[in-house]
Structure 1
Amino acid sequence: MFWVASSLRQSLGGLLVASLFLLPASAFALDAALVDSYLQRLRQESGAPGVSAAVMVKGELVYSGGAGFGDLEAGTPQNGLSVHNIGSISKTQAVIAVMQLVEQGKVNLDAEIQTYVPWFPRKQAPITLRQILTHTSGIRHYKSGEFGEGDVLRYQQFDDIEQASKRWMNDELVFTPGQHWLYSSYATNLLQALVERVSGERFETYLRRHVWEPAGMLDTQFDVPSRIVQRRSRGYVLDKSGGRLVNAQQENVSYKYAGGGVISTNEDMLRFGDALNRGLLLQPATMREMLRAQLAPDIEYPSVAIEEEKLLDPLKAPSRPPVQALIWRLGTDPWGGRYIEHSGSVKGTYSELVDYQDDEIIVSLHVNAWATKPDLKQAAEALARLAKLDFAIETKKK
């Protein structure tokens, strides 16, 4: 399996695109050629034009680079400074905003969502903010065909989250809140409405002032079609009829800024994790509440989700839900290392952010196509393992 750390040391050959490094002169650094080779292998396995990664250890950037291309038409390389869609990793920034308001005593996690979003219709049972943050609200996720013929609604610009929510907000719940786990980006989009109403600031303004700038994330912003973004990486998909890569369908993500509408870089993702770990964004008690396992270990998917999965693949049913904190997921790698993480995919791209808080190791990965969807979480685990081992060896030498 490609994620085994020892496989990183295999020579793969082939042409590598030069990596970009921004390392302090005295810093510990990973073996750049080794990681480059691993990313080239991941690029080949995923069928992506470009793969990039960045790794931070003890607050220092120890690797930032990539293999392949971020934009095939322009021929620009993919690296740690390429700006790309991060998809649902956007949710981790939204939850920070919410928890800051909790710290200020302005928001109660166990209050009904209508306390902060009064325009959201009441359902057959009350929905709390905590249930939205743990994907147990019963609010549905996307469904096929809802964007209209030709997916024309995907191109619509929404300047108001209430207007953007009208296509789904009157639907009945999939299940009684708290009864099951079902991932829902629509539910998390309500976090934008909450932050704006409670703070009195537009959502992007709030994130810039209270999350991105305090963390030093100067390349992070909303994905707005009219904006010109330097160093932008594009997304691609596999044309199954022709077996070749084509441009991914464009999409206006203004209907889901909180759920998946942010663009960023691998390096900014590391700054985000580091600011979180150093207490620059939340107080320790708030962090503990956000990052503890919130659900019973035996919680299950609703039967409707299992049936839908079987329709796609009769031999496959969903595995058990992840260990769910507030938005964040809790994981353990094959070597016993514990981390928090989130992934994201949109417009042909796929991203992963893994934060080993105990070891102070953060890994961010991105691919700009998934002809064969790679397991970026396993890849991040492997890079974190390499960083941990190499750092231990370097420390022992000193």
Structure 2
Amino acid sequence: MLRLCLIFFSIYSFNFFPQSLNKKLDQYLTDYYINKDVPSVSAGLSYDGKIIWIGTRGFSDIENNVQAADKSVYRIASVSKVITAVAIMQLVEQGKLKLDEDIRKYIPYYPTKKWKFTVRQLLSHTAGIRNYKSTGEFESKEYFQSTKETISYLAKDSLQFEPGTKFLYTTLSYNLLAAVIENVSGIPFPDYLQNNIFLPAGMNSTYPDFQRDIIPFRVKGYERNKYRKIQNAALADLSIKIPGGGLLSSVEDLLKFSDSLLKGKLIKPSSLDSMIIPAKLKDGKSVNYGLGFAINMDKSGKKFMSHSGTGTGFSTLLLIYPEEKLASVHLINIRDRNLGEPAYDIAEIYFGNEVIKPKKSIADFLFNFSYEFGIDSALAIYQIIKKDTVNDFNTSKEELLLFGYDLLGIEKYYEAIKFFRLFTTEYPNYAEAFIGLGEAYYKDGNRGLALKSFRQAAKLQPANRYIINMINKLGE
């Protein structure tokens, strides 16, 4: 009888735990989708080689009313770097390249620079290669037909610093890693990924994001304009950054990739371990970035490796807890502020930790309310929201500051002054509130009150160069 009870209890527990976990994750994702007001979000969780949950909410194409699905394919932005880094480590294992060799050994057509730099330094963003020159380059419309053509475009640039002396995050540097892969393996970079990573990991929905290709279930990207309305993201040709920010994938595929990585299907465990050792600069300082992975620790002390991505119209995050054999991912088809980290929250829910319900943006709410009903009505309802025990809104001072700057962004100077005056009374020790008030007065043509506000800000942040420069400018 006791044995039967124990068997019943174990079966009941096995079935109950996943159901209760899925319910919590489903509710979290619904709350996130509604409160963050994103076009869509897709997220998932895997444990010990098994995908235990995937959820998707929203629309992959707002204009055509196409709902996002678990099979939807998102631009994964800089999460692409992890995949390129694993490809490099495969070739290291095969003895075809060495991490500490001069890069020109593997890309002889790359011109000699003032300093030599290595494959390792490219992987860890310490090689001195520049990042984007401008938003125009980030959202480049130019089509590059090959990796070599992209390298030729970048080859004319000087190094930003002596390799190994600084950390400078750059997506463009990963093009050089793709060139290394092509020259060492003898096949094009996309083909190498397909044959050596996507196929072995069972990733059937991961592709280079070539704008002209027809790709099934490709999601459209969005952004918000200065009126905080959702609009189509700018058109961008990602051929300038396929290896470092130009892959498309689904939640399921990224979980498969993570599980294959943890199980040693793509590279040896020792190679993975070497990827999550913090890079060291020549002065002995370490950075929280290894070979293609950021390295972090959660609030409970569990180590995880991760990579986030912010591309044209998309925001992404992949987390892998190697000791716990857990992976979590989120893909969102908008690039915006204060999106939080759903993938991290999802992992925390799995670990049984309390997670704060995603909150609505008080800045967006007040902006829309003031635009329709006026600033006085908006400030009145703000006072009501502050006292609301439901606490649905993010009412942090940082979030409120955004409201003031949103008003400045659409040249509502009178309204911005009204808000910032209230804001500085509520947060008299917050220098940014006085900077905002000074900006509002300055843009409204009142140099005297602008100067007074910046001087008050200087009392709180006397070393702030921007404040000092504005005081000097207004005091002329």
TM-score w.r.t. the length of structure 2 is 0.67
For residue 107 of structure 1, the aligned residue among 92, 97, 106 is 97
Which of these residues, 304, 324, 328, is aligned with residue 289 of structure 2?
Answer: 324
1:299: Cα distance to partner? Answer: 6.9
The match for 2:192 is 206
Query: How far apart in 2 are the matches of 1:215 and 1:233?
Result: 22
Alignment-derived partner of residue 362 in structure 1: 327
Report what 1:290 is aligned to: 275
1:127 to 103, 117, 129: 117
**Cα distance between partner residues in 1 of 2:198 and 2:72:** 17
Paired AA for residue 224 in structure 1: F
Work out which of the residue numbers 125, 131, 156 in structure 2 matches 1:170. Answer: 156
For the residue of structure 2 that corresponds to 1:162, the secondary structure is helix
| Root-mean-square deviation (Å) | 2.4
Question: Which residue of the partner structure matches residue 312 of structure 1?
Answer: none
| Number of residue pairs the alignment of both structures matches | 340
Moved more, 322-331 or 348-357: 322-331
**Which letter does structure 2 place at the counterpart of 1:326?**
L
Instruction: Decide whether the 8 Å contact of 2:150 with 2:175 is kept in 1.
Output: no
**Which of 317, 331, 343 lines up with 1:380 in the alignment?**
343
**Which letter does structure 2 place at the counterpart of 1:37?**
Q
1:204 deviation in Å? 0.8
Please say if residues 65 and 78 of structure 1, whose CA atoms lie closer than 8 Å, have aligned partners that are also in contact: no
Higher relative contact order (CA 8 A, sep 6+): 1
Partner residue of 1:278?
263
SS, match of residue 310 in structure 2 = strand
More helix by percentage: 2
**Uncovered stretches (5+) of structure 2, i.e. residues with no partner:** 1-14, 354-476
Q: Which among 195, 205, 208 is matched to residue 222 of structure 1?
A: 208
Structure 2 counterpart of 1:272, one-letter code: F
Paired residue secondary structure (1:185): coil
Deviation of the 1:122 alpha carbon:
1.7
After TM superposition, the structure 1 stretch with the greater mean CA deviation from structure 2, 363-372 or 215-224, is 363-372
Q: In the alignment, residue 54 of structure 1 is paired with which amino acid?
A: G
Aligned match of 1:6: none
Q: Is the 8 A contact 1:45 1:372 kept in 2?
A: no
Query: Of 59, 64, 68, which residue of structure 2 is paired with 1:78?
Result: 68
Question: TM-score, normalised on structure 1?
Answer: 0.80
Distance 1:138 1:277, change over 3 A: same
User: Matches of 1:62 and 1:168 in 2, distance apart?
Assistant: 43
Aligned: 1:335 with 2:320: no
The 10-residue stretch of structure 1 (219-228 or 161-170) with the greater mean CA deviation from structure 2: 161-170
From the superposition, tell whether residues 30 and 102 of structure 1 become closer, same or farther in structure 2 (CA, over 3 Å): farther
Equivalent AA in structure 2 for residue 131 of structure 1: Q
The structural deviation recorded for 1:334 is 1.1
Mean CA deviation greater in 174-183 or 62-71: 62-71
Aligned partner of residue 68 in structure 1, secondary structure: strand
Contact 2:278/2:287, CA 8 A, preserved across alignment: no
Matches within 5 A, 1:146-157: 147=137, 154-157=140-143
The equivalences for 1:240-319 within 5 A come to 240=226, 242-295=227-280
Q: Which residue of 2 aligns with 1:63?
A: 53
Q: Structure 1 297/70 Cα, relative in aligned 2: closer, same or farther at 3 Å?
A: farther
Identity %: 32
Secondary structure of residue in 1 paired with 2:87: helix
Q: 2 CA distance for matches of 1:265 and 1:285?
A: 27
Q: Which residue of 1 aligns with 2:28?
A: 38
Q: Kindly name which structure, 1 or 2, has the bigger radius of gyration based on alpha carbons.
A: 2
